[in-house]
Amino acid sequence: MNEGDHALDPGTSEALKLREVEDPKVYEYEVLIIVQGTALRGAATLHHLALSLAIGLQCFGTIESIVMSVTRWKVGNQV
């Protein structure tokens, strides 16, 4: 599993719970977003249950931090 994946028990609905996780580390060419809203699509949920991937990748929010290699976005941008 990748560092960003947080499945409790892949392949079961038990894994689909909202819970607190540690703030992720921001790597080169990445930004950290404070998520203000997200959505779960049916296909994404089924994909998660089969493959243990993070879901809710469609989101909007505010950029909290960036790394120096990011030049298009700034802290505070709405995305």
| Residue 24: predicted pLDDT | 84
pTM greater than 0.75 (yes/no):
no
Using the CB atoms, write b or e for 21-52: b if 16+ within 10 Å: eeeeeeeeeebbbeeeeeeeeeebeeebbeeb
Does the pLDDT of residue 16 top 80, yes or no? no
| Residue 53: predicted pLDDT | 54
pLDDT in tens, 27-71: 999 999 998 988 777 666 666 666 655 555 678 999 999 999 999
Give percent above pLDDT 70 in the chain.
Answer: 57
